[in-house]
Each structure stands twice: as C-alpha cells, then as structure tokens.
Amino acid sequence: MKILVTGAGGQVGRCFAELAPQYPHWQFIFADSALLDISDRKAVLAFFKQYQPDYCINCAAYTAVDKAESEPEKAQAINVKGARNLAEAMARLRSEGLRSEGFETPRYGDGDGNGGLIHLSTDYVYHGKQNTPFVESDAVAPRSVYARTKLAGERAALRAFAHTMVIRTSWVYASHGNNFVRTMLRLGAERPALRVVFDQIGTPTYAPDLAAAILQIIAQCSTDPEKHKAMSGIWHYSNEGVCSWYDFAKAIFEIKNIPCAVSPITSAEYPTPAQRPPFSVLNKNKIKAAFGLEIPHWREGLERCLERL
C-alpha cells in the first residue's frame, strides 16, 4: 500500500517519517512543497499519475494565522485550491481515471477499491459562545482568513472526493518547527517574566500523537470495508484535557524547571491581526468510538515532547 504525505516538511508531516518504520509493508511517499506544489493542479494530477497512492494524508497548509490577514490569496491557494486539487486527483485515481484516460477529464464519485484522502483542518472554524466541547455537527463561525480558508478547503475536498476524511485538530506542536512550546522555551530562557493570554481555551495536540492516530485509522480502513466506507466526513482529534495558553506556558516552565514568571492577561491586552476562538475544545467521542483510539492527555504529550528537546 502506498501512502502519500503532502506537507512532509511541516510539523505533522515530519512525524510520519519518524513513524514509517513501524509499517514496513507500506510504501511512504513524502512530498514537501519543493517536490509538490499542491496549488498547481496539473502538477498534482501528474504526481498522482506517477505514484498512484492508495491514501493521501494532506498536512500541507498555510498556517501563518496573522500573516494570512494580509496574504489571503496565498492562504486561499494552499488551503482551498490545494485541498481541492488533491481530492480531485484522488477521486480520479480511485475511479481509474488517471490510469486509463490521462487527466484531461475529471471523474468524481466513490470510485472502486480502497483508498482515501485524510485532510487536516482546524479548531479555528469554531468561534461560537458555547462552553462545552464542540462536536462535529456544531455550527461553524470562522472569524479569520486562515479559518475561513481552512473551512472552504474542507468543503471543497469533501465535494470532490467521497472518501475524504477531514480531521479538525487544535494547538498543534512538536519538538521541531515553529510552535508555542519552542517559542516559550526560547523566551523563557531570555526573559525573567512573560505575560500570556488566559481567556483562550483549547487543547494542545502533540503532533506525533496525531500522526500515530491517523496511521492507526488507515490500518483499520485498509482491511475493514465498513470502516473504510464510514471514514468520510468531519472528525475531531486532539489530545485529551483542557487548558488556556497561560496554563500551557506554566506547564512548560514547570516541567523544564525554568524560573520564568508567567502572568495571565486577556486577549484584549494582546491584540493580534487575526481573531482567535475564545473556546475551541473538541469532543473526540466520535473518533474514539469508531476506531478504538486511546488518546493521551495533553500534559503527557507535552512531557514526551520536552524529553526530546
């Protein structure tokens, strides 16, 4: 079985390369932006024609939340057009379109055989006033360019390919890349005190946990026709538990014994170009029940990340 990972140079994408040896019978194809520009439709179709993946895990995204406010075209190209291109290519590949016809005429539908697209999305699509964890059927209300383009990308992919699994996740970090944990470690070493917002509530997600869960899902879908049939649609995955960014920073410094004082501030005291959801905790009951996942608590993931660092 061939697994294509797009955005392979990013936080989550790199985790799949680390986990790949655990699946020696699968062939992984890792494509970073230099190898495959997912916003280029012809390049995507040609790439799929050459490699013919059974599953595509789309980790490619424009994730510079604040910068997206001044670069909406770039966010649109990657988050919407790119997602649609991958879904269209996968749809045509599963229906034998690329193998038998070239790629001049799109063919959508369920296709035959196995396979699927797993597309990563974000908790930022939720911006309601509720204070209970969001379920997949809750109303969306994106308030930023990033959130709106991610939502549009979800919908484009789901329309283009029936076997698209959209996984909304939150506050992703890893021991590599640009993320909150690495930023706090740097600032904590440079400054005696920091001020961090306490009125944005969510759940940190350790990228290797997310990647491992996705591979478990693929393993089940590739051998169980009923699970493969049911994989499409919207799903949630994050680590367990709830915290604010303030709590998260405090935990980082506590675990690493960094003597940096952390004071709580409101979002109004730390304005940003893009609005963040005040509460975006995700309910994971659906994905846990369907695939039997055991999801670690966010602090456990953080401890494993800090051990690596």
Give residue limits of the domains in the chain.
2-178+203-241+280-298
**What's the pLDDT at 171?**
98
Q: Which residues of 33-60 are buried (b: 16+ CB within 10 A; e: fewer)?
A: beebbbbebeebbebbbeeebbbbbbbb
Residue 22 has pLDDT above 50, yes or no: yes
When pLDDT is averaged across residues 181-198 and rounded to a whole number, the result is: 98
**DSSP 3-state assignment of 190?**
helix
Q: How confident is the model at residue 248 (pLDDT cuts 50, 70, 90)?
A: very high
Its pTM stands at: 0.94
Query: Any bridge partners for residue 195, and if so which?
Result: 263
Q: Is the pLDDT of residue 272 over 80?
A: yes
pLDDT of residue 110: 39
| pLDDT of the residue at 129 | 85
Tokens 């383009």 correspond to what residue? 149
Q: Which residues pair with 279 in a beta bridge?
A: 201
Distance CA 46, CA 52 (A): 10
The residue from 62, 124, 146, 173 that is catalytic is 146
pLDDT for 96 equals 52
Task: Report the pLDDT averaged over residues 169-198.
Answer: 97
Task: Provide the CATH number for the domain formed by 2-178+203-241+280-298 in this structure.
Answer: 3.40.50.720
Placement of tokens 């005190």 in the chain: 193
Query: In the block, which residue shows the tokens 């797993």?
Result: 118
State which H helix or E strand residue 14 sits in. helix 11-19
Distances (CA, A) of 193 to 188, 249, 295: 7, 11, 33
Whether the pLDDT of residue 224 is over 70: the answer is yes
Helix (H) or strand (E) holding 122: strand 116-122
H or E element in which residue 91 lies: helix 83-94
Portion of the chain with pLDDT greater than 90, in percent: 91
CA-closest candidate to residue 202, choices 173, 231, 176, 178: 173
| Catalytic residue flag (residue 206) | no
Residues in a beta bridge with 234: 166
More confident residue, 105 or 62: 62
pLDDT band with cut points at 50, 70 and 90 for residue 214? very high
Reported as a single tens digit per residue, the pLDDT across 86-144 is 999 999 988 754 444 454 444 333 334 478 999 999 999 999 889 999 999 999 999 99
Nearest to 203 by CA among 63, 298, 306, 120: 298
In this prediction, residues 172-201 reach a mean pLDDT of 97
Q: Is residue 281 classed as helix, strand or coil in its secondary structure?
A: coil
* pLDDT on residue 100: 47
Q: For residues 4-13, give the mean pLDDT.
A: 97
Instruction: Report the percent of the chain where pLDDT is more than 70.
Output: 94
Give the three-class secondary structure for 119: strand
The answer on pLDDT for 194 being more than 90 is yes
Q: Please tell me the predicted confidence (pLDDT) of residue 94.
A: 81
